[in-house]
Structure 1
Amino acid sequence: MAVKVLIRRNMSEEKQPELSKLLRELRTLTTNRKGYISGETFDRFDKPGESLVVSTWQSADDWREWVLSPERQALQAKIDDLLGEETTYEIFEYS
C-alpha cells in the first residue's frame, strides 16, 4: 500500500544556498530508489524558512529501506548539521 511521508525542515536564510545544494543531491538520489513515486516541496507562506516535502512511496518498507541506507544517512547528517536540528518525519498510509 502506498504511503506519504511528510518531511519538515526549518532553515535560516543565510544557510539557504548550501542547504539547497544538499537537498538537490538528496532529491537526485531519491528519484532512483526502488518504490519512489513522487515528491513535492512546499515553503510555508506564513513562516519563512519552514519547508515541507511530501514524498510518495509504494510501501512503508520501500521508504524504510531508503531512510536507513548509508548514502542517505550520510547526506541527511550533513543537512541536519547545517540546520542545527533534526529533520522530522511523519508517515501516513492511504485508508
Structure 2
Amino acid sequence: MLVKVIIKRNVREGKEKHFFSLLKNLRFNAMHQKGYISGETLICAENTNRVVVISKWESLEDWSNWKIDIKRREIDARLGELQDNPTIYEPYVFSKYKAAAEQGFPPPLQKQRL
C-alpha cells in the first residue's frame, strides 16, 4: 500500500540556510532507506518560512522504520532547533488502494485477467 507522508515545518527567521542544508542531508539519507520512493520540498509562496515535505513510501511500515531511525532522529533534532514550532507528521494512504484491499480486490496497478 503506497503511503505519502506530509511533513510540515516552520523555519525560524534567519536560520533558513542551515535549515535547508540539514533538510537536504535528511533527504539524502532517506533515499537509501527500504521502501523510499520519492520526495519533494515545497515552500509556501505567502510565507517562505513555512515548508512542507511530501515523501512517498512503499508502505507505512517502511515510513515508520525510517521515522524511528537513529540517524533521522539526530538530523530531525537539529532541524527542530531551527524551527519555531514542532514538526507535524501526517501519513496518508491512497484511498483507492485501501478500499480495494478491504474489498478483496487485487491492487489497481496489478494487471487483471478478463
Question: Percent same amino acid at aligned positions?
Answer: 37
Worse-matched range after superposition: 7-16 or 57-66: 7-16
Higher helix share goes to which structure? Answer: 1
- TM-score, normalized by length of structure 1? 0.94
2:85 aligns with: 85
SS at match of 2:82: helix
SS at match of 2:81: helix
Higher strand share goes to which structure? Answer: 1
Q: Which has the larger radius of gyration?
A: 2
Divergent runs of 4+, >4 A: none
Q: CA deviation at 1:84?
A: 4.1
Structure 1 stretches lacking a partner, 5+ long? none
Cα deviations by residue, 1:39-89 (Å, 9 ceiling, x for unpaired):
011111122210111100000000000000111111101100121432111
Within 5 Å, give how 1:6-85 maps onto structure 2: 6-85=6-85
Larger RCO (alpha carbons 8 Å, 6+ apart): 1
Aligned CA RMSD, in angstroms, stands at 1.0
Structure 2 stretches lacking a partner, 5+ long? 96-114
Number of equivalences: 95
